[in-house]
Structure 1
C-alpha cells in the first residue's frame, strides 16, 4: 500500500527546498515528502566553492546531470550542466548572487496580472531569504557601497563579498570609468546598470546551498527521499494524486504534488506523466492525460562568448576564490538598430526602460586556462552575455525512459535581434579591454576577432558564434500565463486544466515566444494594454529562491496552513 503525505515536492533545488521546508514548518505541520533523483551530496557538503566546482564538473560526477544541447552554431554541442542531488544546481553553480532589475519583476506582475510577482513583494521575499554580510574589503569600500537596508538580515542564505579580491579588480573599475561604463555601488538593489560586484552564497569559505540553508534540522513531518527518480506523476480523474518512482514504489498526496525540477526536468516529467503536446506524447507511446501545447516550449537562456588579454602579472598570490566583477549596460546601438525596430511594439517599450540592460560583462572568468604565458604574465578575461534574448528553444523527450536525458535545443542566437545584441555587446567589451589602464600592461590579445566589423565579430574563427557557451540560466519551459494556448501554469503555479498539480521553479518565468505574439496581441486587445516581459536581465539563482517563497505563500494561504493541527497528529515517515 502506498505511503500517503499531504504534499509531495519533486526536486530539491532552490525552489523545491524552500517550498518543502516552508510547508513542513507551517503551523499546520502538514506531512511533506521531498523527492530527489540525486544523492544526499554529503561528501561534498563542506567543500569550498572552488573545490565543489572541481568535483561537480569532473566527468561522471554524481552532482551533475551533465546534459548537452543539440548542435548550435558551427555544430557545437554546448554544456548544459544541471545540479543533481540535494541542493540541485545551487550545489554546483558559481555561487553568484545577483537579483537583477526591479523592472523584470514589475513586468512579470503586469503580464500575469498578479502583484505577488512585482518588485515590492520580490524584495520582501529576498529579505526573508538573505542573511547579508556587508563585508566589502576596506580597499574597495570607496567604490562598492551597499546599503544594508536594501538587503535581508537573518535569512537562511548567507551572502558575503568574500575576504580577498584580486588587485586587478581595481583596474576593472578604473577601466569602466575610462570608457564611460560607470560604477554601480550596489548591483543588487534593483538598479543593476553599471560596473559593480555582486555577493556570493559563500560564507567563511563554505558554499551555501538550498539544502544546507533550508533542510538542515528538518522537522519530523518532512520526509526526504534521495536517489529516488520520479518516473511519472500519478493522476485520477484529471487530478494529480501522487508519484511513482522509476524503481517502482508509489506515494500518494492527499492535497497536492508540486514539481520543482527546474527548466529542463520539470517539462520532462510533465511529458513523461502524459501532460504536454498530444503529438509528442503519441510519438513516445505515453497515454495522454492533458493536451497542453506549451510544455517544453519557450526555452530561454543567456548565451555568452569570451575574449581576453595577456597582461603583465600583478602581485596577487593565487586565490582559490575571489568574487567576479560584473556589470549590466544599455546599448544605444542596439536600441537604434533595424533588428530592434522589427520587434513588436510592446517588446520595444519594455527594452527601452532605463533599468533594463542590453548586455552583461563578467570578468576574471576561467575560460583561458590553457593559454601559455611567461612567468611574469597572466591572462585577464571576460565574458559578454546577451540579455533579453528573443530566441526560443525547446525541451522534448528522447524516449519514454525517465533515465534518458531529454533533447535540449536552446536555438541560441537564431533571432536577428539576439545576433545584433551579441555583436554590439562584444564590440563594447573589446572597447573596455582597450581602456588606458589595460593598454599600459597588455602584452597581446586572446580570442579577438580580426577587426571591428560586424562580420568579424560574429563569424570569424575568434568570434562570438565560435566561442558560444551557455550561462546555465534556463527558464520558461512551463511558462506562466492566462490560458492553455499561451502558457502551462496560472499565477498560482497550477497546471492549467488539471487539479492538485503545480510547477514552481525557473521553468514558469513568463516569456513571449515569437510564434504566439499575434495571439497575445489579440487577447490583450480585449483588456488593458500590458507591455510584454522577458524575465531576462538576471542570473537565475536568486529568482529560483523567490519563486519558492511566493509559491509557498500561495499554497499555505489556499490550504489554510497557518492554522495549527491537533498536537501529535504528524509523525516522521522513513523511506
Structure 2
C-alpha cells in the first residue's frame, strides 16, 4: 500500500483542529501538515447567512445526527447530540455564539495541571490572536448595553466576531426590563468576567457566519487539507504512533499525530486503535495497546431549557418579515449582494448573562458538594447559570408559529455535577459510540435547575417585562419544585458543549488520559487537542474554548520542536 508522509497529521477539521493545523503550518520551519476531515468541504456560502445560523444543523449532510442514550432522569428521552460533519466542524452548524468564559475557569485549569500555559493571562493572549473583534454599536442609545475595552480583544486574527450591526427592536426593551428587575449589566462577557447581562458576542462578521475554515483559508502550501476522510484508527508500532488509517488509506507522520475529532469521536478513534478501557476493548475483540480507563469517562455538558411567551406585536416587527414570503426572498437577495438587510438583523443579536444565585449557594445540595467544588463555585467570575433572550425558536419548530411576536428565553446550567460517559457499542469503527451524559442525575443539578428557572419566572413576572406579555406558551405548570423539575425532565436539551472524555491531568491520575503537553499517556507521538481533553467545563458556549485549545497545543508543539527558530 502506498502511503503519504507528513511531519504532523491533525485529525478533525473543527475549531481545535483548524487552529492547530494553521498555527503549525505557519510556524517558521514550515513543517508539512495534513488536516484530515471526515465530512465534506462545505463551500456553500448560502449556509453562512447570519440570520439563518439557527437552521444549519438541520442539513443532514453536515451533521453526524447523533442522539444520546435514553436519559433516565429526563423522562427516558433521547436528546439531540448534533456534531458538525464538514470542514469547520461544529462551528459550521452551531448557533453562532462566541463567548470565552471566566478567567477563573482557565486559572483552575492551570492549577490542576500546575502549568501556567493554561492560565487566563496566557489563554486571553491566544484568544486575542485568534480574533478580529467588531464591537461597534451604531445607535448611541444602545451603547449602554456593551462597552468592550480594546485591551480585551484582538484586531488581526482570522476569526471575525462581535456584535451584529442591526438589532431587533424589542431587544433593548427586554434588556431594560431585566435591568429594572434586578439583573446587573456587564459591559463585555469576553473580558474574563461573564457575570451580568450583556450583548452576546457572535461568531459572525458583516452578516456572514464565521467558521473554523477561516483559519485555514489562506494557509501556506505546506498545509494539505483532505475532506471526506473519516479516520478509523491510528497506526501504531508497539507504543509508537506512526500514522492514521482513513477509509483504507494510510497517512504517515514523522513527528506527531494529533486527534482533534471532538469529545464524541476522538475517544472512538482511540478505542478502535486499542487505546482505552482495556476490559471494554476486550469485549469487542479489540487488541489492547494501552489500557486507559479514563478514555470515554468524564463527559460534561451544559443542559438547558426555555421559557416562551407571546408578546405585544407593537413591540417588534417580526410578523412583517416572517409572514411575508416576498420580504424573505428580497432579503436573501440583499444578503447575497452585501451581507446586509433583514437576514443580518433578525435572530442576529441576542442578549445573555451569567449569574450567581444566593438561593443555590444556600441550598443543602450546594453544601453537600465537596469543599473544593464549593470553593470553585464561589469564585468571583464563576456563574451558576446563564440566561439568554431572543432565541429564534421558530426556525427550529416552524409548525408552532404563525405569530412571530414572541420571546423565547433559554436558561443553561453551568458547572453541572452529573458526569456522563461515552462507550463502545460495536467493533466497527464506523459505528458511533453510545453517548450517555447522565443529565439531571446529581442532586445539585436538580436543585440548581429548579432555582434558576424560578428566577427566570420571577424576571418575566416583573411589571417591566410582563406589561408587554400576552400569554405564556411554554413554562412549568406552577412555580413548585416538583413542577419546575418535571418541566426540565420533559424539555431539557444539550447545548452541544460536550467536554472531558479524554481528560487532561497529572500523570498517574485515574481520571486522566493525556498530560499537560496533550500527550496520550503511555503512547509516543500521539496527542489529543480538542474539547475532550479540557478538564474544566468552561462557563461559556464552548466553541471559543475549542479554538483556544487547538491554539494552545500548537504553541506547545512549536516550542517543543523548535518550529519558530530561524
TM-score, normalised with respect to structure 1? 0.90
Is residue 18–residue 215 contact of structure 2 (8 Å, CA) maintained in 1? yes
- Residues 44/55 of structure 1: CA separation in 2 closer, same or farther (3 Å cut): farther
Deviation of residue 40 (structure 1)?
0.7
- CA shift digits 1:237-259 (9 cap, x unpaired): 201110011x2111111011000
**1:276 is the counterpart of 2:276:** yes
What is aligned with 1:387?
Answer: 414
Unaligned runs of 5+ in 1: 511-533, 565-575
Is residue 33–residue 223 contact of structure 1 (8 Å, CA) maintained in 2? yes
Deviation of residue 486 (structure 1)?
2.2
- Residues 114/181 of structure 1: CA separation in 2 closer, same or farther (3 Å cut): same
Deviation of residue 99 (structure 1)?
1.0
What is aligned with 1:487?
Answer: 512
Give the secondary-structure state (helix, strand or coil) at the position aligned to 1:75: coil
What is aligned with 1:86?
Answer: 87
Equivalence map 1:171-570=2 (5 Å) = 171-211=173-213, 213-245=214-246, 247-313=247-313, 314-317=315-318, 318=321, 319-320=342-343, 321-367=347-393, 369=397, 378-459=405-486, 463-484=487-508, 485-510=510-535, 534-564=536-566
Give the secondary-structure state (helix, strand or coil) at the position aligned to 2:263: helix
Deviation of residue 315 (structure 1)?
3.6
What is aligned with 1:520?
Answer: none
Is residue 302–residue 471 contact of structure 1 (8 Å, CA) maintained in 2? yes
Q: Distance in 1 between matches of 2:349 and 2:369?
A: 36
Q: Distance in 2 between matches of 1:399 and 1:295?
A: 16
Deviation of residue 137 (structure 1)?
3.0
Is residue 520–residue 528 contact of structure 2 (8 Å, CA) maintained in 1? yes
Is residue 178–residue 436 contact of structure 1 (8 Å, CA) maintained in 2? no
What is aligned with 2:125?
Answer: 124
Is residue 178–residue 465 contact of structure 2 (8 Å, CA) maintained in 1? no
Deviation of residue 538 (structure 1)?
1.6
Greater mean deviation of Cα atoms: 362-371 or 194-203: 362-371
Q: How many residues align?
A: 533
Deviation of residue 134 (structure 1)?
1.9
Which of 145, 149, 152 is matched with 1:150 structurally? 152
- Residues 482/172 of structure 1: CA separation in 2 closer, same or farther (3 Å cut): same
- CA shift digits 1:461-519 (9 cap, x unpaired): xx121111011111000101012422001111000111100000111111xxxxxxxxx
**1:164 is the counterpart of 2:166:** yes
Is residue 186–residue 192 contact of structure 1 (8 Å, CA) maintained in 2? yes
Deviation of residue 372 (structure 1)?
6.0
Deviation of residue 206 (structure 1)?
1.1
Is residue 158–residue 201 contact of structure 1 (8 Å, CA) maintained in 2? yes
Is residue 297–residue 393 contact of structure 1 (8 Å, CA) maintained in 2? yes
- CA shift digits 1:371-421 (9 cap, x unpaired): 86786x721111111110010111112212222121100000100001111
What is aligned with 1:518?
Answer: none
Give the secondary-structure state (helix, strand or coil) at the position aligned to 2:189: coil
TM-score, normalised with respect to structure 2? 0.91
Give the secondary-structure state (helix, strand or coil) at the position aligned to 1:74: coil
Deviation of residue 172 (structure 1)?
2.0
Deviation of residue 44 (structure 1)?
4.3
Is residue 181–residue 464 contact of structure 2 (8 Å, CA) maintained in 1? no
Q: Distance in 2 between matches of 1:103 and 1:481?
A: 18
Deviation of residue 370 (structure 1)?
5.2
Greater mean deviation of Cα atoms: 362-371 or 496-505: 362-371
Deviation of residue 365 (structure 1)?
1.4
Unaligned runs of 5+ in 2: 322-341
What is aligned with 1:527?
Answer: none
Deviation of residue 316 (structure 1)?
2.5
What is aligned with 1:568?
Answer: none
- CA shift digits 1:320-357 (9 cap, x unpaired): 34211110010111111111111111111111112111
What is aligned with 1:18?
Answer: 19
What is aligned with 2:328?
Answer: none
Is residue 234–residue 273 contact of structure 2 (8 Å, CA) maintained in 1? yes
Give the secondary-structure state (helix, strand or coil) at the position aligned to 2:191: coil
Deviation of residue 547 (structure 1)?
0.7
- Residues 166/503 of structure 1: CA separation in 2 closer, same or farther (3 Å cut): same
Give the secondary-structure state (helix, strand or coil) at the position aligned to 1:262: coil
Q: Distance in 2 between matches of 1:198 and 1:374?
A: 27
Deviation of residue 448 (structure 1)?
1.9
Q: Distance in 2 between matches of 1:55 and 1:307?
A: 23
Is residue 36–residue 86 contact of structure 1 (8 Å, CA) maintained in 2? yes
Is residue 197–residue 325 contact of structure 1 (8 Å, CA) maintained in 2? yes
Is residue 186–residue 194 contact of structure 2 (8 Å, CA) maintained in 1? yes
Deviation of residue 147 (structure 1)?
1.2
